[in-house]
Amino acid sequence: MIRNGLFFLSTLATLPAYADAPQVVAAEAIHQGADWFISVTLAHPDTGWDHYASGWEVLAPDGTKLGYRELTHPHVEEQPFTRSLSGVAIPEGLDHVLIRPRCTLDGWVGSPTRMNIPNRLPRKSFSGLLPKSGRYVNLSSTCHRGIAKVVVSFSPQPTLHKKT
């Protein structure tokens, strides 16, 4: 009996330790000439050099990599945190890109976050519940003097209170 228990514990100890994946809290795209400047705010429970959010990439809807921002150190005391990437070429005709973060322990997240591209949107603002995620999104886009900007923020779904 003790031998079986020790085998179980030793097997359990060899399994990978999965923690919370990095989450995109906000993303912003600013059109600069022919390219785009992308800012992404991530939240991740960094613990130190052994486990931290180590980068994010910008993908076309078909999965083509458009840009990569490496994060070279943990952000234990700075959560959430924002980092940017300039010179991202987003092909004409795309109305959105995908942002996919990664961490040193778990690798790339399974489901990237959609970010709409400003001035390629039929609306200037949108708020609503994202399907299957339970998160509420607020999106707005503006254009001033030829510079386009889109801001996306996420929050838990608002609670509706009934009058009594």
Q: Which architecture characterizes domain 19-121 according to CATH?
A: Sandwich (2.60)
Residue spans of the domains in the chain: they are 19-121
Specify the pLDDT at position 7: 38
29 or 134: which carries more pLDDT confidence?
A: 29
User: Which residue reads 């004409």 in tokens?
Assistant: 92
pLDDT band at 137 (very low <50, low <70, confident <90, very high): low
- Average pLDDT value over all residues in the chain: 75
- Selection from 82, 87, 107 nearest residue 18 by Cα: 107
Query: Burial letters for 82-100: b for 16+ Cβ neighbours within 10 Å, e otherwise?
Result: ebebeebebeeeeeebbbb
Tell me if the pTM is above 0.85.
no
Q: Give the tens place of pLDDT for each residue, 7-62.
A: 333 333 333 444 588 989 999 898 888 899 999 999 988 888 989 988 999 999 99
Q: Give the tens place of pLDDT for each residue, 55-64.
A: 999 999 999 9
- Selection from 107, 101, 104 nearest residue 49 by Cα: 104
